[in-house]
Amino acid sequence: MKVIVAGFSKTGTKSLNAALTQLGYKVYDFPEHFWFANAEWEKMMTFGGSPEKIRQLHEDVDACCDLPAAYFWDELLKLFPQAKVVLTKRDEDDWWRSMQNQLAAQNKNLALRMCYLLCITGHRLFKFQSLVGTAVFGNQTHVLEVLCKHKVDERRARMVYRRHNASVIQGVPKGQLLQYDIKDGWEPLCTFLNVQGPAVPFPHKNVRGDNVENTMQEHPLFKRIAREMTITFTIITAAVGIVCYFLWFVEKA
């Protein structure tokens, strides 16, 4: 592990993921945390996981970003003491508005919410997201509530955001921390990482909260979920057809 992105979601982590990828880093974002290391992260977020197992799962990863890794930055830094830490920062009011926009996008996306109920991978993803919400913000959501509109307590979220940023600033050794605004582009990031900046514009992802739709269309995890949903609907349709035929046959007889 070379880089730990300790900034919370909605602080430019998707843009930084794209930037680090362009620089040649292998990056684990939220979907990768879920897909490749969910069992150990779930233990970390509940009754305590194995630090050695977490280290093994991230040995060949160059950088990690987004939750739950950002929240457990201290544990990761102890496992990889030479790693550099990037704290993506954003004005608190802007961050909170972006959080609300993201939540609204998830609430109105019926396909996303239905996948939690109708396919195995979607259900596992919901469980993982719920554990992250509980560990970080104290939210508790049960699977039967997925069709409801979710809310995050603003006061608690803002306090968590402030405390997290302060803990990173105070806890990371001098020289290993970059407080970074993605608006500053390549120069401070590449200088901090001691790499050559590419001759392309800095990537900007998840503009105006479009990440929900883009991720569902493009990421392999959600393509798998879509395939499972298709199978589920096929089974349901066939079952309904068989039942209807049986009832019609009985009525005719």
The predicted-structure confidence for 26-38, as pLDDT tens digits, reads as follows: 999 988 998 888 8
From CA 142, how far away is CA 214, in angstroms rounded? 26
Reported as a single tens digit per residue, the pLDDT across 184-218 is 999 999 999 999 989 899 998 765 555 555 555 56
Q: What is the pLDDT of residue 70?
A: 94
The whole-angstrom separation of Cα 201 and Cα 9 is 22
CA angle centred on 109, ends 105 and 114, rounded to 5°: 140
Separation between Cα atoms, residue 221 and residue 34, nearest integer Å? 9
Q: Beginning with the edge strand found earlier in the chain, give each strand of the sheet holding 84-88 in spatial order.
A: 27-28, 63-64, 3-5, 84-88, 177-180
Q: What is the pLDDT of residue 144?
A: 45
| Count of helices and strands (H, E) across the chain | 11, 5
CA-based radius of gyration for the chain: 21
3-state secondary structure of 5: strand
Prediction pTM value: 0.79
Count Cβ neighbours within 10 Å for each residue of 5-27 and write b for 16 or more, e otherwise: bbbbbbbbbbbbbbbbeebebeb
Q: Please give the pLDDT value at position 124.
A: 79
Task: Give the pLDDT of residue 152.
Answer: 73
Residue 170 identity:
Q
- Give 39-42's long-range contacts (Cβ < 8 A, gap of 24+): 41/68, 41/128, 41/131, 42/127, 42/128, 42/131
Of all helices (H) and strands (E), which one includes residue 4? strand 3-5
Domains, the chain, ordered by start: 3-252 (3.40.50.300)
| pLDDT attached to residue 8 | 93
The H or E element spanning position 84 is strand 84-88
CB contact set of 213 (below 8 Å; sequence gap of 6+): 105, 109
Ranges of the chain whose pLDDT falls below 50: 142-147
